[in-house]
Chain A
Amino acid sequence: MIKKFKPALAAAAVSLALFAQAQPVFAAEEQFFPVIGYRVGPYGANGQSFYGGFIDYLNYVNLKEKGVNGVMMTWEECETEYNNAKGVECYERLKGKAAKSAGPIHNMSTGISYALIDKSAQDKLPMAMMGYGRTDAVDGSVFPYAFPLVTTYQMQASAIVKFIKDKEGGNLAGKKIVYLYHDSAYGKEAIIAMEAEAALNKFTLVQIPVAHPGNEQGAQWLKIRQEKPDFVVFWGWGVMNQTALKAAQKVGFPREKMIGSWWTGSEEDVIPAGDAAKGYMAATWNVAGKQVPLIADIEKVVYGAGKGNLQDKAKIGTILYNRGVSAAVLSVEAIRKGQEKYGKGKALTGEQTRWALENLNITEARLKAIGATDLLPEIKTSCDNHEGSGKVKIQQWDGAKWVPVSGWIEGNKGLIHPLFQASAKQYAKEKGITPRDCSKEK
């Protein structure tokens, strides 16, 4: 069945992405991207923006510069519905196609990332987990094929604490911070960082979990009202975000004292909460808006040619759309980097892309050259640092758009990275992996 459909499938996927008939691609070399994503289900709206941005940028590279050194970007999408088993099926389905050439896989689901982490290492396909997934993969000696690029939950939590500290005049001793989180792997990841920060900065940490899906938070917010915290650090996802904002309004907790993670700070999260969201702050590793030259150019080039991936053009320039573009920018930059080593005009295999992801060096100048100034922070990866940046910005919702209220803030690397290494070491022991020696990697 699958075999029979294969040629049709490739054509269908391309035509699908382009809204119209498939057009013949003349380039000899093609760089394939397995897109394991989701556009329906409980978090479908988030996926639509993210993967819309991702594919738009790949299209943009094809249209604007005829690919990377003549290598055209191709991709195939597979719907996971944010479901782990389906994610694995998608991965196995696209794996065969990715044997010849593969860009990094972005699945935007922590559960799927966990399920794929061993498989992808075995199949030599690099997995990028930008702002989700297994965070101790920062230690590349144990996780050669997993890249929690840009930044991780723990570094983000640390950066948020730093932001609060600056706001409070450099001292958090005796303050009280509530950590309100989605009671799942995602929400629990950052606890270890918050606890470390609490011990270091001597503030009181109150942890309040919210049961999935989080559409009822009456009790939690009454408790917060009782605790009278100075700040609420908020780790929500999906409907939990709007509910929290509404519930904060319901008990009269000022939204200016709430700082969320980057999965709580998109337009999709605040618009449904209406006025209740005004003044709310969230961390992000990419900014919103069309004022970024690259985003404006994508709209002009890709949508001008009628090849945009989004049904609803209003989503261009939203946080998640720009995040998808940022993910694609990093992926394409990795392809560029890899071609420098393995031959220009040649498609990269998964193994080669892995090397490239480990040796990324995207400077301010390079970001400027692609028109992505300030869209995302500078990134420099290495074998022992698959994260590459660890920086976030804090942004505030003014009722109509997200406005950055800080520069790039870096988390406390000295505090957080040893936690990753310890966790990675335990994983290596459990799995019988011999870590690579990073000093020998180039």
Chain B
Amino acid sequence: MNFFFEVLIGGLLSGVMYALVALGFVMIYKASGVFNFAQGAMVYMAALSVVGCIEKGAPLWLAIILAFGIMTLFGIATEKFVLRKLVNQPPIALFMATIGLAFFIEGLAPMIFGSDPRALELGIVDEPIESVLENFNMVISKFDLVAAGVAAVLVTVLALFFQYTRVGRALRAVADDHQAALSIGIPLQHIWAIVWGVAGFVALVAGMMWGARNGVQFALTFTALKALPVLILGGFTSVPGAIVGGLIIGASEKLAEIYIPPVMQDLFGGNFGGIEGWFPYVLALLFLLVRPEGLFGEKHIDRV
């Protein structure tokens, strides 16, 4: 039982890491209806900018500010040169454009900052908390707890931003109905630039946490694949959905990895581990059959 809880808690904390990436997707989808596949590449670019600036001699805080600047500029440029020209195109065209954008970033970022895998030290050692280890014989990572804290702060900040600022209100209005928002004088393009800036910021936070955890390298782009099942489970448009979805996916994925392969092994023989690649997707799929718009997604009403 002890082991079960250890896996469960480890999974929940991993889920927080997935949610961090998923948040970026949600931000952009919510405000502009674009399914931004380049979010994973943006995570990579953000982390690479931080270590790149540190390598050029900047202290950590300055590097973070610089990286934030880079990401914001990049987000605005994306909006201006790519998405603005694709307004009124079908969603699939926008989606494809973001895949193109992902390739673009995967070429650009390492060209500027180099493609070697590098470490990113945030000063938090990823070790088990000793008191928990001694008293309960359970491994809880310090780093993961910090990550969970960061995620909590981030979500709170975003929630406050959406709820109480003028820009946040405009964002929500745009998300509800583009045309209605335009007609009451909300500058749509302005708002989208802000959204991409915010998404860049979320990518920066996710990139730093993942980079500190596994090293800053190309594989950071794969974090997007961990975030997608979180998204469909939580719903594309919901910030709390991303968090709850992340927790569910993280926990169930780890539990499944521990408990399902032995069952299959008894059934078929052979080694059936390594199911983490598909399990979250199948889980999310099954979930969708019950609730097609995700946990917190808006119910879609068809009009004929």
Contact = CB atoms under 8 A, between A and B. Distances in A.
Main secondary structure of the interface of A (DSSP, over half): helix
Contact of B143 (A211, A243, A250): A250
B36 interface: no
Instruction: Bin chain B's interface residue count.
Output: 35 or more
Interface stretch (A140-148, A219-227, A358-366): A219-227
Nearest to A276: B126
Contacts of A243: 213-214
Contacts of B286: none
A396 to B, nearest CB: 19
A41 B218 contact: yes
B274 to A, nearest CB: 4
Interface string B130-160: 0001000001010110000000000000000
Interface residues of A, number: 42
A271 interface: yes
Contacts of B11: 218-219
A225 B257 CA distance: 15
A225 B127 contact: no
Contacts of A215: 210, 214, 219, 222-223, 226
Contacts, number: 129
Interface stretch (B108-116, B180-188, B296-304): B108-116
A430 interface: no
A211 B274 contact: yes
Interface in B208-222: 210, 213-219, 222
Interface in A268-288: 268-269, 271-276
Contacts of A273: 119, 215
B176 interface: no
Given A207-B271, A215-B223, A250 B119 contact: no
B213 A272 contact: no
Given A45-B115, A222-B10, A226-B3, A249 B222 contact: no
A231 B271 CA distance: 20
A89 B45 CA distance: 30
A258 B105 CA distance: 35
Contacts of A220: 257, 273
A225 B215 CA distance: 23
A216 B14 contact: yes
B7 A222 contact: yes
Interface of B: 3, 6-7, 10-11, 14, 106-107, 110, 114-119, 121, 125-128, 133, 139, 141, 143-144, 210, 213-219, 222-223, 226, 253-255, 257-258, 271, 273-278
26 contacts: A44-B115, A45-B115, A45-B218, A48-B116, A183-B274, A210-B276, A211-B274, A211-B276, A212-B277, A215-B210, A215-B214, A215-B226, A218-B14, A220-B257, A222-B7, A222-B254, A238-B219, A239-B214, A242-B214, A243-B213, A246-B214, A249-B127, A250-B143, A252-B128, A272-B216, A272-B217
